[in-house]
Amino acid sequence: MTTTLIRNVRPYGEDATDLSVRDGVLVGAFGPDETIDEDLDATGLVALPGLVDLHTHLREPGGEEAETVATGSAAAALGGYTAVFAMPNTNPAQDSPVVVEHVWRLGREAGLVDVHPVGAVTVGLGGERLAEMGMMAASPAGVRMFSDDGRCVNDPLIMRRALEYARSLDAVVAQHAEDHRLTVGAQAHEGPVAARLGLTGWPASAEESIVARDAMLAAAAGARLHVCHLSTAGSVGVLRWARGHVAARDGFGVSAEVTPHHLLLTDAAAEDYDPVHKVNPPLRPEADTLALRRALADGEIDCVATDHAPHAVEAKDCEWSVARPGMLGLQTALPVVALTMVGTGMLDWRGVARVCSEAPARIAGLADQGRPLAPGEPANLTLVDPDAAWTVRGAELASIADNTPYEGMDLPCSVVHTMLRGRWTVRDGRIQQSEGGPS
């Protein structure tokens, strides 16, 4: 038996209390004669359920010069995460039971967060033939989320079949909503900034039209659709319409995520012509940013997901037009959410727990994550110092790549400790490698 007493902590930022953990589970209190193995003074810290990220690129296999499952897991734990979903645009792609099981095993070996591989919708993310979704669901990785992220499932018939198949597997299809016919050569949000810089524009309608189409397809199939990295005010309007006005078969559901960078940064960031600000979907004007914040506060957007996208120096330290899109996110997500949502009074810490842990766990169907901080629940915890500001330095982050858009920026709060099923993965801001192998 191991017992940990976390003293004087503030669950959800509310009144201070003690949390007791016995053998990986939160308990009401220890017995009068019980030995306490570890006693942690957490005065001033906010306790949240461990964060869950539905959208992480861990790059292994095939992209190990930018990230591995082990380094990405470390970045996740340091960012307060206890579970992450690893997108399938690896090389080879996660489009078969063999590859998803491989990534899942690498996650277990790293032992710092639960790594759930996302299965590809189509073979090689080619958009043409459905991948072995059922076999991936039946593998030890137990895949329940499918996506071609990085690419849109553009063909409506393939998308329809994927949704129907997902329904039978009780799975969700996570769509990267981008009509590729409308974004040929696109480099930045279509608007005055891109025009001034001479960059081909990525119109908001390329996203919004796919969100609308997919909502109709999911409604007809009675399937669950999740929209990745929603980035425009118009897409929020489409979600509202889809939830309120679409006649749907039983089983229909639509959820959506927003990234921290779309909550904070705007297309004006591209003015410096630094490809660290190149991302897909692109950064949008401030009016979109503000609409996304309001939609997250109101629950119209369900959750925050990082779209953590590490890239090697060669892929980023080059001309804007040839640079790869994407930015690091795991270690800065919670502080950016605190800055944009808590600092502005739009969410309290209970709301942060909802959008960063509870909602993503529910969307992905995880039974043991995003749970209340209550006796009998698994001890997956993130302890945050709400007042410990820090300055972001890409070189100091755990990822192999250093493409953070927040270099030199002061962020308002710090993850201090992270606990996964009763074991510290992070103590005092440092990774704790497990001695006993996989947790």
Give me the DSSP letters along 264-300.
H--GGGGGG--GGG--SSPP--HHHHHHHHHHHHHTS
Q: Tell me the window of 105-113, 167-175, 318-326, 417-425 that interacts with ligand DOR (CB under 6 A).
A: 318-326
Q: Tell me the window of 100-108, 195-203, 231-239, 324-332 that interacts with ligand DOR (CB under 6 A).
A: 324-332
Asked if 150 touches ligand DOR (CB under 6 A), the answer is: yes
Q: Cα(first)–Cα(last) distance of the chain, in Å?
A: 15
Q: What is the rounded distance in angstroms from the CA atom of residue 413 to the CA atom of residue 385?
A: 6
Position among 176, 224, 293, 421 found at the interface with Zn ion (CB under 5 A): 176
What does DSSP assign to residue 407?
Answer: T
391 membership: H or E segment, kind and range: strand 390-391
Q: What is the rounded distance in angstroms from the CA atom of residue 222 to the CA atom of residue 217?
A: 9
The smaller minimum CB distance to Zn ion, of residues 327 and 419, is found at: 327
The smaller minimum CB distance to ligand DOR, of residues 270 and 384, is found at: 270
Position among 111, 325, 378, 422 found at the interface with ligand DOR (CB under 6 A): 325
Q: What is the rounded distance in angstroms from the CA atom of residue 26 to the CA atom of residue 20?
A: 6
The smaller minimum CB distance to Zn ion, of residues 325 and 422, is found at: 325
Please give the residue whose beta carbon sits closest to ligand DOR in the complex.
326
Position among 60, 101, 114, 149 found at the interface with Zn ion (CB under 5 A): 149
The smaller minimum CB distance to ligand DOR, of residues 75 and 347, is found at: 75
The smaller minimum CB distance to Zn ion, of residues 21 and 309, is found at: 309
**Cβ atoms of residues 69 and 58 within 8 Å:** yes
Question: What is the distance, to the nearest Å, from the Cα of residue 301 to the centroid of all Cα atoms in its chain?
Answer: 13
Helices 204-221 + 156-168 axis angle, to 10? 50
x-or-dash pattern for ligand DOR, window 215-244, by CB under 6 A?
------------------------------
x-or-dash pattern for ligand DOR, window 47-66, by CB under 6 A?
----------x---------
Structure tokens given for 351 = 């709301």
Closest CA to 91 of 150, 136, 133, 143: 150
Residue 307 annotated in active site: yes
- Residues in contact with Zn ion, counted by CB under 5 A, come to a total of 3
Position among 158, 279, 328, 359 found at the interface with ligand DOR (CB under 6 A): 279
Q: Tell me the window of 12-20, 96-104, 237-245, 320-328 that interacts with ligand DOR (CB under 6 A).
A: 320-328
Phi, psi dihedral angles at 81 (to 5 degrees): -90, 145
Shortest distance (Å) from residue 12 CB to Zn ion: 30
Q: In this structure, which amino acid lies at residue 413?
A: C
Structure tokens given for 189 = 């949000």
Q: What is the rounded distance in angstroms from the CA atom of residue 59 to the CA atom of residue 88?
A: 9
Shortest distance (Å) from residue 318 CB to ligand DOR: 15
Position among 280, 289, 399, 403 found at the interface with ligand DOR (CB under 6 A): 280
The number of CA neighbours under 13 Å toward the Cβ of 404 is 24
20 membership: H or E segment, kind and range: strand 17-22
- Residues in contact with ligand DOR, counted by CB under 6 A, come to a total of 12
Q: Residues 53, 149, 214, 307: which is the catalytic one?
A: 307
Question: What is the distance, to the nearest Å, from the Cα of residue 372 to the centroid of all Cα atoms in its chain?
Answer: 20
The smaller minimum CB distance to ligand DOR, of residues 102 and 308, is found at: 308
**Active-site residue numbers?**
307
Binding site for ligand DOR (CB under 6 A): 57, 89, 149-150, 176, 279-280, 307, 309, 324-326
Binding site for Zn ion (CB under 5 A): 149, 176, 228
